Amino acid sequence: MAHRSTSPRHVLPHNLLPMHVQSNPSSGTATPINAVPTTLSSIPSQHRAHNMHQPTNNAYTPQESFEIVSRMGVKKAYMRVDKSFLSACSAGMILSFACATLISTNTSPWYQENAPGLIKTIAALVFPYGLVIVQMTGSDLCTGSFMYTTVATLHRRLSIWRMLRHWVVTFFGNLAGSLFVCCVIVGCKSPMVAAAQSSWLT
């Protein structure tokens, strides 16, 4: 009786990225080909002393970065319309809340009279936390979607129609989210709005 192999007949390659980008099947993230091993046990003993004196270089090359951006653009463009819209609404709400914080910082009467340049600098330092939260949560900001899907279209992985459709969805999603936060702030009659209105009247 012949022994039958239990191995699959067709094994799909784990690496779905091009040759210059290697993929980690367990995490699904792309790893640079010039990444340095994280443990000493993975380095041969005869090369450990030599490698410890060399600078590490685990950054993506420009080609790898463009490849990752292009594939992310394909992923974003092929998301369901409702999911893209809700993600864009989330980004709009986050960024509009950061803008509200910037306005509240700018409406300080003492700083407006005595240190107008300083208050503008402080407001500029406060605003970027909204962009950081958008990046960390993975929300779809229309400006970022413009970059991702444009690169994917230039790589001929997306059609122009699908790219434009994603632009429209993210733009109106950002607009809806920001208008929602504006309605909440105005409806609550917060002290920030009262201070802003008093400064406009004066």
- CATH code at position 119: 1.20.1080.10
- Asked if the model's pLDDT at residue 143 lies above 60, the reply is yes
- pLDDT the model gives residue 111: 78
- Asked if the model's pLDDT at residue 15 lies above 70, the reply is no
26 or 39: which carries more pLDDT confidence?
39
* pLDDT band (50, 70, 90) for residue 5: very low
In a domain, 117, yes or no: yes
In a domain, 46, yes or no: no
DSSP 10: S
- The answer to whether the beta carbons of residues 77 and 149 sit under 8 Å apart is yes
Distance of alpha carbon 83 from alpha carbon 156, whole angstroms: 24
- The answer to whether the beta carbons of residues 126 and 175 sit under 8 Å apart is no
The residues near 88 (Cβ < 8 Å, ≥ 6 apart) are 139, 140, 141, 142, 145, 169, 170, 171, 172, 173, 174, 176, 177
What's the structural domain count of the chain? 1
Beta strands in 105-151 (DSSP E): none
In a domain, 45, yes or no: no
- The answer to whether the beta carbons of residues 91 and 177 sit under 8 Å apart is yes
pLDDT mean over 53-69: 79
Proportion of the chain above pLDDT 70, given as a percent: 65
197 or 132: which carries more pLDDT confidence?
132
Amino acid at 142: C
- Asked if the model's pLDDT at residue 24 lies above 80, the reply is no
- Asked if the model's pLDDT at residue 99 lies above 90, the reply is no
In a domain, 113, yes or no: yes
Distance of alpha carbon 195 from alpha carbon 188, whole angstroms: 14
In a domain, 191, yes or no: yes
Distance of alpha carbon 120 from alpha carbon 132, whole angstroms: 20
- The lowest-confidence range among 103-112, 129-138, 157-166, 189-198 is 189-198
| Domain range enclosing 187 | 62-201
- The lowest-confidence range among 46-55, 71-80, 83-92, 121-130 is 46-55
In a domain, 144, yes or no: yes
Nearest to 150 by CA among 159, 138, 140: 159
pLDDT mean over 142-148: 90
- pLDDT the model gives residue 202: 56
In a domain, 6, yes or no: no
- pLDDT the model gives residue 13: 40
pLDDT digits (tens, 9 = 90+) for 169-194: 999 999 999 999 888 877 776 565 56
In a domain, 93, yes or no: yes
